Amino acid sequence: MAGQAIETEPQPHGLEALYEGKMPYPFQRVRDLLEGTPPGIEPEINLTLGEPREPMPDFVVEKLAETQALYAKYPPIRGTDELRNTISDWLGRRYGLTGPKRVDPETEILPTNGSREALFFASLPAVGRKAGRVARPAVLMANPYYAAYIGSAFATNAEPVYLNGTPDTSFLPDLDELAAQPELLDRAALLYICSPANPQGVLATPAYTRRALDLARKHDFMLFFDECYSEIYDQDKPVGGLEVAVETPERFKNLLVFNSLSKRSNLPGLRSGFCAGDPDFLNALAGVRNLIGPQVPLPTQAASVAIWSDEAHVEVTRAAYRKKFDICDAVLQGRYGYQRPAGGFFLWLNMAHFGGGIDATVTLWKRCGVRVLPGAFLSMTGTNGVNPGDDYIRMALVDTPEVIETALKRMVEVF
């Protein structure tokens, strides 16, 4: 019945889960769910993968070609001086981090191969710094989660703790509830929070961000603030973790933020991003990456300098997504709990009245050839025994406005 938790297999844990291939990867799960079932309408429409399809900056290929000879060189693990300075300049323009607030490009910025690589690799020193002090470190994560979060918990044999984001908690982890569990917080190695949230699109407020940072410092764990959707917003610019932390006496202590060019600049294949924050922790992370991590190719770094320096293409992308959400407003108003997201490019729609997210996914495919992701495939059963994604589906608005409008109208006809 709608609203009830869906029975699932026992949750996998640790390195054994990695070895046995039990990672709950959502896209494979939806392929398995719909395998053998033909789409009800042709052409089929796939709204599962959040892969941006807006135009990438037109100068990217040229920049890569200009520096192609640099593929013959090993890149520095900490990135080039030019790239770190460019990222620092961008953070200054975007978040007001200038003058004494400027993010130090030498010690407080580390270029990475996109944000996913960094979100995973950063868990190794984060769990390591707690491992000698507690019996079993815990990795706390917003639930629904991003795959790298749960992967980091498995790879470090830490305990994954899923903090549900529901309408009652404004779709972010309930920090008051978390603060009431000091024993858990003392075991915590890190806390993953995403803002704008994936998939709900809500923004963490400055007060919420400061509260999370205060808990991290009180209990000495790392706050990992995933900001990969920071430049895809409707009206208000999302608050950044660094701009909140810089106002505290401790500056960036216990904080790392993560961002990339994948969503901002429609370049998921470039694999270029960065993390920034706590200089002591970044130094440890750089050592880990120097040992086992991939370097960012020098032509990629050179192109990234040009991309971080340009905002015109980002403004065009934001306008394109606003047009798509205008269509959603017109078609979905008053339906499925729809609210225009403040950030990101996903819809998180409540299908409780139609059997829940998994049943709705099957129905949409069988009846109208629209492929979506069940919310239950993007989340786990939380600390309260409930999977917050059970009733929901996620739709990625990365296709053209015409295709999105067609998909939504098909859905309305069925439901």
The predicted pLDDT at position 200 comes to 97
Q: Are 370 and 361 in contact (CB under 8 A)?
A: no
Angle, CA of 237, 238 and 241, to the nearest 5°: 135
Element (H, E) at 368: helix 357-368
48-60 mean pLDDT? 95
122-134 mean pLDDT? 95
Angle, CA of 87, 194 and 133, to the nearest 5°: 95
Question: What is the tens place of the pLDDT at every residue in 299-319?
Answer: 999 999 999 999 999 999 999
pLDDT of 9 over the 60 cut: no
pLDDT of 6 over the 50 cut: no
The Cα-based distances of 329 to 67, 324, 397 in angstroms read: 45, 9, 13
Question: What is the tens place of the pLDDT at every residue in 214-225?
Answer: 999 999 999 999
**Most distant pair of Cα atoms in the chain: their distance:** 60
pLDDT of 12 over the 90 cut: no
Spacing of C-alpha 19 from chain mean position:
25
Q: Are 294 and 318 in contact (CB under 8 A)?
A: no
404 CB-near residues (< 8 Å, 6+ apart): 47, 324, 327, 328, 397
pLDDT of 8 over the 60 cut: no
* Residue whose pair of structure tokens reads 């660094």 in the numeric block: 242
pLDDT band at 1 (very low <50, low <70, confident <90, very high): very low
For residue 79, the SS3 value is coil
Q: Are 229 and 235 in contact (CB under 8 A)?
A: no
* Residue whose pair of structure tokens reads 């640790």 in the numeric block: 14
The predicted pLDDT at position 2 comes to 39
